[in-house]
Chain A
Amino acid sequence: GIQVEQSPPDLILQEGANSTLRCNFSDSVNNLQWFHQNPWGQLINLFYIPSGTKQNGRLSATTVATERYSLLYISSSQTTDSGVYFCAVVSMEGASKLTFGTGTRLQVTL
C-alpha cells in the first residue's frame, strides 16, 4: 500500500517563529488532507489539498502531486499551534481508505 512519511518527527519553536512541515507519499493520490490533533485528541481539519496551494490565516499548504509531496507552512507560530500535525492521503487505488503519516509533534514555547 501507499507509504506516507512526515518530517521532521519533532519540532520545537519559539513563539513567533516560522516552520515548514513536509509530507512525502509513495504513490499517486487524489485526496490529501492536513490535520492538527489538539491536546484532547481531536483531529481538526486544516486543509483539503490534493493539489495546488491554499492559505488560511497564518497557515498555508502546497501539494505538488506530480512530485508526491505536500508542505504545511506555519508563520508567526503561537503556543496554541502546539500539538501533532498529520498528513493523510487516499491513493488512486485506495478504495476510499485514508492513510496517515506518522505525524510531526510541534511544541511552541514562549
Chain B
Amino acid sequence: DVKVTQSSRYLVKRTGEKVFLECVQDMDHENMFWYRQDPGLGLRLIYFSYDVKMKEKGDIPEGYSVSREKKERFSLILESASTNQTSMYLCASRIGGGLGTEAFFGQGTRLTVV
C-alpha cells in the first residue's frame, strides 16, 4: 500500500515563527502536492513538485515556499507564520509521467498560529 506520512497531526506555532511541515512518501512517486483546507473554501493547491528540485506554484502560494531535495520528501515552509495560515494542511503524492494516475494523501496536519 502507498503510504504518505506527514510529520505532525497537530501543531501550534507563534506568529512570526518559521514553520516546516514535512511529508514523506514511500512509493517512489514523482509528483507531490501541498493543499490547505478551510471551511467554506474547500481544498486549495499551494505548491506542487514534478520531481526532485522541481516545483510549481499552485493557486495560493503567497506566504509559503517548498523544498524537494529528495524524491520521497516534500517540505512546506511558512517563512513567517501568520494567524491567517491557521488551517488544515494536506500532502499528496502520485506517479508522474502522465496526468491519469491516482493520488494518495497523508493524514493531514492541523496548524494553529497564535
| Residues in A lying within 8 Å of B, measured CB to CB | 30-31, 33, 35, 40-43, 45, 48, 50, 86, 88, 90, 92, 94-103
Task: Select B92's contact among A50, A98, A99, beta carbons within 8 Å.
Answer: A98
A79 to B102, CA, bound (A): 27
- Whether B43 and A40, one on each chain, are in contact in the complex, defined by CB atoms closer than 8 angstroms, is no
| Between-chain CB contacts (< 8 Å), 21 pairs | A30-B100, A31-B100, A31-B102, A33-B103, A40-B9, A41-B37, A41-B107, A41-B110, A42-B107, A43-B105, A43-B108, A48-B102, A88-B43, A88-B103, A95-B56, A98-B45, A98-B92, A98-B103, A101-B42, A102-B42, A103-B42
With contacts A30-B100, A33-B103, A90-B100 taken as known, whether A96 is within 8 angstroms of B31 at the C-beta atoms is yes
